[in-house]
Structure formats: C-alpha cells, structure tokens
Amino acid sequence: MNWRIIGQVVGILMVATGLSMLFPLAWSHWYEDGGEKAFLLSMAFCCLGGGVLYGMLRGPMGEGLSQKDGMSIVAAGWVAVSFCGSLPFFFSGFVPGFTDAFFESVSGFTTTGASILEDIEALPQGLLFWRSQIQWIGGMGIILFSIAILPFLGVGGMQLYKAEVPSPVPDKLKPRIQETARILWKVYLLFSLMMFVLLLCGGMDVFDSLCHTFTTMPTGGFSTKNLSIAHYESLYIESVIMFFMVLAGINFALHFRLLRGDGLCFWRDGECRFFLLALGGLVLFVSLGLWGRVYETLGESLRYGSFQVISIVTTTGFATADYTFWTPAAQLVIFFGMFTGACAGSTSGGIKLIRFMVCARYCHKELFSLVHPRGVREVKLGGRVVPEGVIHGILGFMALYLGIFALGALVLTTLGSDVVTAVTATASALGNVGPGFGAVGPAENYAGISVSGKWVLAWLMLLGRLEIYTLIIFLLPEFWRQ
Amino acid sequence: MKIVIVGAGEVGYHVARRLAMENKDVVVVDKDPAALRRVSDTLDVQVVQGQGGSPVVLEEAGIREAEILLAVTDSDEVNLVACLVTDMLAPNTRKLVRIRNGDFDACHPLLRENAPHIESVINPEIEAARTIERLIRVPGAVETGELVGGLVQFVGLRLDAGSPMDGVMLPDLPRHLGGARTLVAAVLRDEKLIIPTGADCLQSGDLIYLVSEKNRLLDVLSAFGKIRKPARRILIVGGGRLGLRLAASLEKQQYQVKIVERRAQRCRELAGLLDKTVILHGDGSDQSLLIEENIRGMDGVVTLTGDEQTNILVSLLARKMGVDMAITRLTRFSYFPLMPTIGIHQIVSPRLSAIDSILQHIRRGKVLATLSIQGDQAEVLEAVALPTSDIVGKPLRNLAFPKGALVISIIRGSEIIIPSGDSVIAPDDRVVIFAKRKTVPKVEKALTVKLEYF
C-alpha cells in the first residue's frame, strides 16, 4: 500500500478543512457571539496537524493509485475530516464531550442530520453555520471536491471517485475525472444559489437561508431552529425546501443533462421516473391515511404528509410534524423510506432505488425461469443489459447493508436502548437520514444515547455514506496481507 | 482536445494511456466489457461499451465533438465501418485507422480522397518490416529510426566492455570520432534514462541513443566498435503477415531468406507468394530443425510468430547457438524492460510502431514523425519550426526549453546541423527533438504556434 500518498492526501484534506473554518469564523466575528476562539484553536490544530503530516511524507507521488490505495485515502480522509470538523464543537464548550462533538461532526459530514444538541438555538451563530457548512461539503463529497480543485489528484482520481461515489452504474459525464467533478460541483452550486434566493424571497433572513440551503441540497437535515422547519410555519418555505429535497434526490448527471437542454431526461431515465412516481404514490398513500385520523383537512394531511415523506425518502430529515403520532401504516412507510433512499448519483443516502430496481428485476427473471425452464432473459435497465457481475455486486451490497443493520440494532439494544429506538436509530444512521422513532424521533435528539452507542452510530453513518464497501474492507484480513 | 478511440486492445489502450497522461479528453469504445474494465480501472478516460461501427455507439461516445477518431480494433472491417459512419455523422472529425491487410496497401490514397476520407491509414506491419530491415542493415543497433525521410538516423546501441568508447567523456567524443558528426541524445543506464551533460562519460553496459547523418552512420558505428560484415543469410521464424512482408522485401534485396512456419496450409500459401525464399514446414522452437537448417551459419534470426513466449525462446536459442543478431517480436509492453536482462536486445513491436504513427498525427504543431524510446519512456519528435514558435530565432542555450528535452538535430534545406548551444533555429527548419515522456506536452506547446492561444 502506498502510505506516502495516503498520508499526503489526508494531510491536505485536514489543512483544507482547517481553512474552510474561515467562513464560520467570519460569522462568529460578525455576530460577536464569542465563538472565535474555538474556531481559531481548531484551525491551528487542523492546519498544523495536516501540514506536519504532509510535510513529513512529502515526496514523489509515484505512478497512479491502486484500488486499495483509493479506498484507503477515501476512508482515512473521511475519518480525518470528521475529526477536524468535531474540534470547533469540542473547543466551544457547548457540546458535553468529545464523543458528542465527533458524533455531531460525523452526522454533519455524512449528511445524516442526527444531533445530540438539546437546545440548538443556544449555539453561537458561527457554530450553527459550521454545522450547516460541513453538511454542504459532505453532500457532494469531500474527495470529489478535492478532485475538482486539486489537479494532482487527476492521476488516481478515478480510484478515489469510485471509492467515494460507488454507484452500481458509474456515470462519467466527461472523459476526464476532474472535469466530471467540476461539473457536478457547478450544478450543486447553481442549485444552492437558486434555493438561497428563493428562501430569501420567502422572508427567511440571510443567515437562516444560507444554513438551510446548505443542509437541504446535500439532503442533510440540520436546522438552526429547535423545531426544524416547523419553526417557520410557512407553506412557501416548506414548498421550496420540498422542491429542492426532491431535486437533490435525483442523479446529478441528469441535472447536468437537463441544464444542457435535454428537457425530458428525468422521464426517460428509469430510476428517476420510478423515484418521482413512487414518491407521488407514497405521498398520496400517507396523506390519505392521515386524513380524518390525524389531521382534519385533506390540505393539512397533504402538507405534512408530503413534507415528511419527501424528507425521509430523500434522507434529509427535516421535520414539520412529529410522525411518531401518525397511523401505524404511515409510520411504517416512513421507516421503510429510511432504507430506500433516492437515486444513485444524488446526494441522498440509503440503499438507492436503482439497487431495488435491479433486485426486483432479478427476482422476476428467477421466477420467469421457473415458468420457462429453458427461457432466456436478461436483467435490463434503461434498455441495457445489466452485467451479471453488477447484479451480484448489488445483491451482495443489499445483503451486507441489511446484515450491518441487524448487527447495529443488536449492539444498540445491548448497550441499553429500547427496541424501537435501536432499530430505527440504526436504520436512520446507516441511511444518513437523521431522525428515527422512539427516543430519537423528530422531536427528540440523540443526547440520550449512551457514549458507546454514539460511537457505534457514528461509524454506521460513515459506513452508510461511503456505501459500506470502502470502509468495511479494512476489516478483511486479506486487505492487510502484503 | 477530444479523441475517440475505437478498440481497447493493446494499441488502443496504450494510445489512450499516453493521451490521458497528457490531459487530453479520451473516450474508448469496445464491445468487450473486460477490455473496457482494464481501461477504466487504470486510466482517466471515459468508456463506452458497444460495437465500434455502430452509429448509436459512436454518437454516445460523442463523435460529433471529437477532433480525432482512431479506429484500432482487431478487425479491419470494423475499423473501416467506424470511419465511414464517422464520415457521415461528423465530417470534420479527422480519422486515423489501422488496416493490417496488405491488400489495402495500394488503396491508401483512395481512402483519403474518397468516401471515408481517412486522414491516415496506419499499417503497423509496413512500419515494423521497415524497422526490422533497418536493424538488419545497421550493425550493432538495438533500436533504429529514420527521420527527415531517412537523412537523419536515430540509433540505439549497447556499449560493450572493451569498446574504444568505454569511459570517454562526452565533450571528447568528437575527437574520438574523427570528424564524423554525432550527438548522444540519451543514455539508458541501469534502466534509467538520462540526458547526458558535458560532465558525463560513457560506460560499458550503457544503451546509447545517438543521431547521425545517414551516410556517416557506418563510420560512427565503427568508431564505437560496432563492425560487422553485412548480413546476408536471414532466418525468419513465423510466416504470418509480417513474416511474409519482410521476406518479400528481403528477397528482392538479394538476401538469402528462409522461413519456418508451423501450419502446413500457410506454408503452401507462402510458397505461392514468395519466389526465392526457402519455406520450411516445422516448429521454430524445434532445436533439431534449426541445427539441420544450419542456424549457426545464419547472420540473423527474426522471430515473428504470434506467440511471444515462442519468439523469446527461439531468439534465446539462436543467441546460444552463436547467432549475433536475434530480432524478436514482442507484443506485451510489460516484457520490454525484462529483455536486456535475458540477453535479448533487438525488439520489434508492430503495435509500438502503430502507436508511433498514431501519436505523430495527434500531436499538435507541425509534427512530422515520432519514435517511441524504451516502450514509452521517451519520444523523438520531428517537427517543422513554425515562424511564430517559441523556439525560433534564439541560440539554443538561451531557449527556455523544457528540462528533459533536447534538440538533437536541425535540418535546413539539405544541410544537417548537429546543434551546439550556439546554434539558432531558423523559421521552417526541421528540428528533431528528444523528449522524456513527462516533457512531451511542454515540447508540444513550445512547437505550437503562439497565436493559437489568443
């Protein structure tokens, strides 16, 4: 393994994280909220640590990267950046201990949106901004961001890209990885800008608009308010956020095509079409179920039903209502939504719809071959045959995902959580959603989870964000054998 | 600059690799997912799976925005169809195609003027056969290349222990050569390519790359202790396309040629196509056959079978039996660095020749020819010095020329200048430049017209 290059890249990522604290520092300074010290201290730590790491390992980069190096860089990079991100929380003193700070930081970078903070509004503005900013950076991917701006990563960029964005059907928009990364970030930036302006028009102040944009586009879910989006009681703001949550749940490659003038690409893409149809169906199902039982009018049912369903399915985790008081069927839809996620290539978490589609078609193929033992049938997606190897990869991924979910829930109950809390917190962390049920419902927070439980959940979030394989191969003895 | 490459075989892969390293936008098309995986796993290029001749696939690969189409699949037919389709979809895209069938030899100009409008047909076997002939003609050469229509010869030779040049400092070289003008462009020592300066001296075991005028080459070589009687008797092992082409050319030049071919049917075909060549039916690795055919009496053995292990083996066998010159055809580039260790020095690779010709067309500026050195460690480029280029009008020592690159000759009209630091390149001179791989993009930039950037 190429330790030198891994260390170098991790060092650079740490310095970059440190430098990115300039933005919250500026807010802290502007609002005079007393948070400057925490940021200055954290910046010093990150830049010094990263700089020393980089300086020690400086030297020739060597020829390209192996797949193993790529995965190591991505995994180590995410852990290191999460660590750096936790420092401002830790130094500020608003967070009880390092475990909580790390949990909050991981939850931010992985765009989960689960918080250990009981009173969010008590935080200094700078820290609130930092919470939102790390979600925005984590959403499109810290590595993808590095590829876009650091030319020297071009050589091994593909390995890194595959390790951070392990889509089953990789979509390279441009021949060169750096160009692809830049396009994705540009689309991301453009949408963020649009949303920011739209929120401003709805009467939100600049700070809140920016923070909520930063947590909606990556389907993160941190809010600056204790009541999340419910705080604003504005149908307009809810609609804007819903609209952008849906957009963020769609493959960014499609957005690029849309911006290039291909108006029908959402409909022509099988996964996106399925996502939009399924989302519509679920919203109707949940809202009709709520009508008359939880909410009096159909309008109210639709308003709260649609927001919660979209928020969970896109793995954002904003709340306008507490779904733990909803009907059992609606609750179960929300719970299942934590697993599905939205489209591959989007900023959402979860298993991703494309894997379910391939899985369903594979099952259909198996059943077909029972009826026609000599029949020949291929699993197709968008008119193309899905190679056998990809199908196996997808089935393996789903099995691994469910296995880790089961194990995680078991561990959490062992550590003292009740069944509902443990099961839903695990699903929520693994899917990068945020809220769960029981003690971690949308109106609650993760402060009550035990210290070891928080560590377990933090790792689950990282596992979910990097789509399992990139992190889990480190447990394989074969990985370490030379 | 966007380039679509159809065919992810050895040639497609290596051209893609070089171009991707030079930060060009490359899309590779192939019908075999396994070949594509090799490409996408290791190179920063886009891949598209599908038939190379299909309009749909080419469209998906973005042929309309592509500046160059490169068709290098194994099948001549697919390559031609890809060009034809490209001609219809994107008439402005330049088309380079590999065609190996010798029957097309006479049609190359027709293909340029008519329907597919192919800018250049690349037949690696023609180039490889020429390389082999040069290796046979130039005694002691390990690699040879011709530039400026053959006026300038680029030769790689190994300095044996006991050579008169062993230990000579480079500035003293002209004295030892007695007036023959030459310039040492690079030295390969312990598998490392170095561009020597005045402080370096030559050591035995070095592989020396030098340029010389064509008519003084033999003098230069004899000064280096490379004297040998001209080769006459050549044994070719493997009677495939390349073997046939080589034999046909050699027998016209009064060489005595024997071909060993394993397939009886092919032997009969060869017998029909060749006149003076002796065709032997048998296995080239069969030692008794070689002895029976008096391999010791041969001046050179050329192993050209399709199987490189056989080629290596037969060449080793020939070397062991006392043949001075064993020219070996290799396809897999990863074998190249191993060969000197086992005593095989003269290697030909049609694929490498193909890559050379292709790169020459892709390079910007007025590049007329390129030669690959040591696989792809370095390149020799022949180019026209454009009047607006950065390199014109200044003494060489004042040029901000990229480190790792060297101007090794200047050709003005029919005059050949082996340059020193005081030489000045005039507009429209032809220059030959030796450049390490990493500096190629910079050299390319220096050669391009400055106006292009405005």
CATH of the domain at B207: 3.30.70.1450
Please give the average per-residue pLDDT across A423-442, as a whole number.
92
pLDDT score recorded for residue B77: 92
Residue A242's contacts (CB-CB under 8 Å, 6 or more residues apart) are A306, A307, A310, A311
Pick from B21, B39, B5, B12: nearest CA to B436: B21
Q: How far apart are CA B226 and CA B61, in angstroms?
A: 51
Q: How far apart are the first and last CA of chain B?
A: 16
- Whether residue A157 and residue B45 make contact (CB cut-off 8 A), yes or no, is no
Task: Write the DSSP assignment of B137-199 as a string of letters.
Answer: HSTTEEEEEEEGGGTEEEEEEE--TT-TTTT-BGGGHHHHHTT--EEEEEEEETTEEE---TT
Are the C-beta atoms of residues B135 and B327 closer than 8 Å to each other?
A: yes
Pick from B346, B454, B69, B379: nearest CA to B195: B379
**Which member of B25, B42, B46 has the closest CB to residue A64?**
B42
Give yes or no: residues B258 and B347 share one domain. Answer: yes
Closest residue of chain A to B39, computed from CA coordinates: A158
Backbone angles phi, psi at B145, to 5 degrees: -150, 150
Whether the CA torsion B198, B204, B209, B213 is positive or negative: it is positive
Q: Is residue B228 a part of any domain in this protein?
A: no
Describe the strand order of the beta sheet including B152-158 as a list of residue ranges.
Answer: B141-147, B152-158, B207-213, B182-189, B192-194
Confidence of residue A240 (pLDDT cuts 50, 70, 90): very high
pLDDT score recorded for residue A153: 58
For residue B79, give both structure tokens: 């390559």
pLDDT score recorded for residue B10: 83
> Which position has the token pair 């939009």?
A276
- Whether residue B40 and residue A158 make contact (CB cut-off 8 A), yes or no, is yes
Residues of B in contact with A387 (CB under 8 A): 33
pLDDT score recorded for residue A135: 94
How far are the Cα atoms of A138, A375, B18, B348, B398 from residue B125, in angstroms, in the given order? 53, 47, 21, 10, 42
Q: Is the per-residue pLDDT at A173 higher than 80?
A: no
Closest residue of chain B to A68, computed from CA coordinates: B41
Q: What is the pLDDT of residues A53-95, one digit of tens each?
A: 988 887 766 556 777 888 888 899 999 999 999 999 999 888 8
Residue B337 structural domain: 233-351
Does residue B33 sit at the A interface (CB-CB below 8 Å)? yes
pLDDT score recorded for residue B106: 83
**B57, B90, B122: which is the final residue of a domain?**
B122
Q: Is residue B111 a part of any domain in this protein?
A: yes
Whether the CA torsion B152, B158, B163, B166 is positive or negative: it is positive
Q: How far apart are CA B179 and CA A62, in angstroms?
A: 43
Are the C-beta atoms of residues B366 and B124 closer than 8 Å to each other?
A: no
How far are the Cα atoms of A220, A247, B361, B366, B379 from residue A236, in angstroms, in the given order? 20, 17, 59, 62, 64
pLDDT score recorded for residue B453: 41
Give yes or no: residues B275 and B376 share one domain. Answer: no
Per the DSSP assignment, residues forming a β-bridge with B370 are B381
Give yes or no: residues B358 and B403 share one domain. Answer: yes
Per the DSSP assignment, residues forming a β-bridge with A450 are none
Q: Is the per-residue pLDDT at A166 higher than 70?
A: no
**B189, B223, B257: which is the final residue of a domain?**
B223
- Whether residue A175 and residue B26 make contact (CB cut-off 8 A), yes or no, is yes
Give yes or no: residues B391 and B341 share one domain. Answer: no
Q: What percent of chain A has pLDDT over 90?
A: 55
Confidence of residue A236 (pLDDT cuts 50, 70, 90): very high
Are the C-beta atoms of residues A159 and A66 closer than 8 Å to each other?
A: yes
pLDDT score recorded for residue A151: 62
Give yes or no: residues B152 and B237 share one domain. Answer: no
Are the C-beta atoms of residues A306 and A285 closer than 8 Å to each other?
A: no
Give yes or no: residues B212 and B238 share one domain. Answer: no
User: Which of these ranges, A183-192, A375-384, A404-413, has the smallest mean pLDDT?
Assistant: A375-384
Q: Is residue B135 a part of any domain in this protein?
A: yes
Read off the CATH number of the domain in which B83 is found: 3.40.50.720
CA distance A181 to chain B (A): 12
Q: Is residue B145 a part of any domain in this protein?
A: yes
Describe the strand order of the beta sheet including B120-122 as a list of residue ranges.
Answer: B46-49, B25-30, B2-6, B68-71, B94-98, B120-122
CA distance B44 to chain A (A): 6
**Single-letter code of the amino acid located at A169:** V
Does residue A260 sit at the B interface (CB-CB below 8 Å)? no
**Which member of A157, A170, A387 has the closest CB to residue B44?**
A157
Burial class of A13 by CB neighbour count within 10 A (0 to 12, 13 to 18, 19+): buried
Residue to test with chain A: of B4, B44, B46, B64, most A Cβ within 10 A: B44
What does the radius of gyration of chain A's CA atoms come to, in whole angstroms? 22
3-state SS track over B373-440:
ECCCCEEEEEEECCCCCCCCCCEHHHCCCCCCEEEEEEEECCEEECCCCCCECCCCCEEEEEEEHHHH
Per the DSSP assignment, residues forming a β-bridge with B381 are B370, B433
Are the C-beta atoms of residues B18 and B11 closer than 8 Å to each other?
A: no
Write the ipTM: 0.72
**Which member of B2, B33, B41 has the closest CB to residue A175?**
B2
> Which position has the token pair 């990229």?
B402
Are the C-beta atoms of residues B52 and B7 closer than 8 Å to each other?
A: yes
**B193, B223, B253: which is the final residue of a domain?**
B223
Q: Is the per-residue pLDDT at A208 higher than 60?
A: yes
What percent of the residues of chain B are helix, what percent strand, and what percent coil, each to the nearest 5? 40, 25, 35
Give yes or no: residues B112 and B141 share one domain. Answer: no
Give yes or no: residues B7 and B56 share one domain. Answer: yes
Backbone angles phi, psi at A322, to 5 degrees: -95, 105
Q: Is residue B308 a part of any domain in this protein?
A: yes
pLDDT beneath 50: ranges in chain B: 451-454
Q: How remote is the C-alpha of A336 from its chain's centroid?
A: 17
CA distance A179 to chain B (A): 10
Task: Write the DSSP assignment of B213-246 as a string of letters.
Answer: EGGGHHHHHHHTT---PPP-EEEEE--SHHHHHH
Backbone angles phi, psi at B201, to 5 degrees: -125, 160
> Which position has the token pair 């891949």?
B47
Residue A366's contacts (CB-CB under 8 Å, 6 or more residues apart) are none
CB atoms under 10 Å from CB of A415, counted, come to: 16
- Is residue A6 helix, strand or coil? helix
Q: How many domains does chain B have?
A: 4
Give yes or no: residues B344 and B364 share one domain. Answer: no
Q: How far apart are CA A28 and CA A41, in angstroms?
A: 14
pLDDT score recorded for residue B7: 93
Give yes or no: residues B197 and B217 share one domain. Answer: yes
Please give the average per-residue pLDDT across A387-415, as a whole number.
92
Does residue B250 sit at the A interface (CB-CB below 8 Å)? no
Higher pLDDT, A410 or B435: A410
**Which member of A67, A154, A172 has the closest CB to residue B46?**
A172
Higher pLDDT, B445 or A365: A365
Question: What is the reported pTM?
Answer: 0.79
Pairing outcome for strands B300-303 and B325-329: parallel
- Whether residue B25 and residue A157 make contact (CB cut-off 8 A), yes or no, is no
Residue A403's contacts (CB-CB under 8 Å, 6 or more residues apart) are none
- Helix A36-57 to helix A3-20 angle (10° resolution) is 160
Q: Is residue B400 a part of any domain in this protein?
A: yes
Find the Cα–Cα–Cα–Cα dihedral B307, B308, B310, B316, rounded to 10°. Answer: 160
Whether the CA torsion B302, B305, B309, B314 is positive or negative: it is negative
Residue A80's contacts (CB-CB under 8 Å, 6 or more residues apart) are A10, A13, A14
Backbone angles phi, psi at A84, to 5 degrees: -60, -40
pLDDT score recorded for residue B452: 42
Give yes or no: residues B375 and B411 share one domain. Answer: yes
CA distance B15 to chain A (A): 15
Backbone angles phi, psi at A148, to 5 degrees: -65, -35
Are the C-beta atoms of residues B279 and B271 closer than 8 Å to each other?
A: yes
Give the helix/strand (H/E) hosting B359: helix B350-362
Instruction: Please identify among residues 140-169 of chain A the ones whose CB lies closer than 8 Å to any CB of chain B.
Output: 154-155, 157-158
> Which position has the token pair 């290799």?
B330
Q: Is the per-residue pLDDT at A423 higher than 90?
A: yes
| pLDDT mean across residues, chain A | 88
Q: How far apart are CA B55 and CA A79, in angstroms?
A: 46
Are the C-beta atoms of residues B4 and B82 closer than 8 Å to each other?
A: no
**Which member of B25, B41, B42 has the closest CB to residue A175?**
B25
**Which member of B41, B44, B47 has the closest CB to residue A176?**
B44
Give yes or no: residues B217 and B301 share one domain. Answer: no
Give the helix/strand (H/E) hosting A186: helix A177-201
Are the C-beta atoms of residues A6 and A14 closer than 8 Å to each other?
A: no
How far are the Cα atoms of A176, A363, A467, B73, B88 from residue A180, in angstroms, in the given order? 6, 34, 20, 27, 29
Pick from A176, A145, A166, A172: nearest CA to A67: A166
What does the radius of gyration of chain B's CA atoms come to, in whole angstroms? 23
pLDDT score recorded for residue A169: 59
How far are the Cα atoms of B107, B108, B253 from residue B104, in angstroms, in the given order? 5, 7, 23
